[in-house]
Structure 1
Amino acid sequence: MVQVTLPSGTSAPSGADQILALSRLTSGSTSIAVWVALNDFAPPSASPTSIQFEDTDSGIRQIAGVITLGRASDESAISGYKVYFGSSATQKLPPAVLPGLAYKLFVFPQSSSLPSLDGRAPTSEGVHASLDFVRQDFGSPEAFNTGFAIRWTGFLHIVTAGTYYFQTFSDGCKVYLHGDVLIDDDVFKTNASWSVGTSLFLEQGAHSLQVDYFFAQAAAAPEGTMLLNYWGTDSSDMWMPVPADKLSHGVNETDWIAYVSVSAQGTCELLRYGASFNT
């Protein structure tokens, strides 16, 4: 092995992100290079150097005032600063979940089983707080007398890990958890009825959920019903509809309090919460 020692304080030229090594041949030419990425052991700090805030709002759990932020010592690699609420000196609060399940409604004549909804343009879209649904929730059920289908997507939140039992009451549906079929009740019915129950062990946390439902005809099943029940520790070991606070369809990606660009000078208005920001 051949070793070359770079002395302490050697400056890396601007734009250098690799170290190359070539062999110099006796003819005076050089060989093809080998290289290694140049990872600076102590890169210039891109973190703000300080932050100050004093609450001037006397209301309980309400805040107002000016956040004063010390600029980073080197701003060449950053475009701006974001301010967050935190649960500790180093941990941001997790982004708030978006409550309810997202739905897509498809109005078209149905047959005796679930149609393929993949790639089909929905008639309308929105959010339902829970899976305790009747077709009158859409306001004009007579418009759907020839049949319709709905796909709900989102997440089921489990607080306490354990074995959970699930059952549906519907006109025909399939329930998927993490992409796997949890309940298959894909049958034509003259009236809504309970599915066969099923169970599985669920860890604490969010579990991806999809429910596909179809309503064949109003004359056969006038209500148009879809209900998802569960039983387990989170339901105090009793059957109950999955509550709205255990369902979500995503997270609020804009979870920061404010953003200000590095080019800003002086005091900038926060984009949220109506306070001010000093740079």
Structure 2
Amino acid sequence: MNPSTGRPVELAVEDVGYEIHGRTLLHGVDLTARPGETVGVVGPNGSGKTTLLRCVHGALRPTSGRVLLDGADAGSMGVKERARRVAVVPQEASGTFGLTVREVVAMGRSPHKRFWEQDGPDDVRRVAEALEAVGAAGFAARRFDELSGGERQRALVARALVQDPGLLALDEPTNHLDIRHQLEILTLVRALPATGLLVLHDLNLAASFCDRLYVLEAGRVVASGTPGEVLTEDLLARVYGVRTRVGPHPTTGGPSILYLPPDARGTCDGRPAGRR
């Protein structure tokens, strides 16, 4: 089943910086995602991952640099035009109180309709397909605010799917999900005819589902490349402050990370474990 028909968008983030209240959260970030590619953004807490994603989908306006969608400056696009190209799955949803899951998912059709235009048969079909695709059809009539965290996450992914995006921007899409639904959602996202930009904490999931990775630390890109090029024991020690063993996954051949406890001194290569 394929509930999305959007044409993949080429994303280019050029020298993007973001500053608020005198604090710089992003420092000249460059990032590209080719049409149809799945690109992951990883890094420790506070590294700027969510800020970068918000600059890409338009919740924040960069204080320097620019975001290009198929070569066009996203900052000059209207809200609806940008929403027809980029759909977002945030960590938390707003404006959903009192709505059913089906109504929340149907909100994804708004960028393609005129103000107050009612849902037509095609909209209803797309919503039903998206609910089925993410395993949410069984609770479509329930109120969104009464759902568990995992159920909400699946509904938000369905809302993004019916938007028919060329670029799907996901902020921790596996948050609150059990292992089965983590794998199902990421498999679905990867199979869509859309470019994917994913913020992920789980590095093994990032290695399995992303074509390329960007590692952020303190608002700067400190590494980029394929998962095999990026996820090395040295980088994980330097950026995350953890001891690891990285070897080939027995099925995919990509990197598989085993986390080790701190040594007797509670250090990782001479650094306090957990230090950022």
Q: TM-score range by the shorter chain?
A: under 0.3
Structure with the largest fraction of helix: 2
Structure with the largest fraction of strand: 1
State the TM-score, normalizing by the size of structure 2.
0.22
State the TM-score, normalizing by the size of structure 1.
0.22
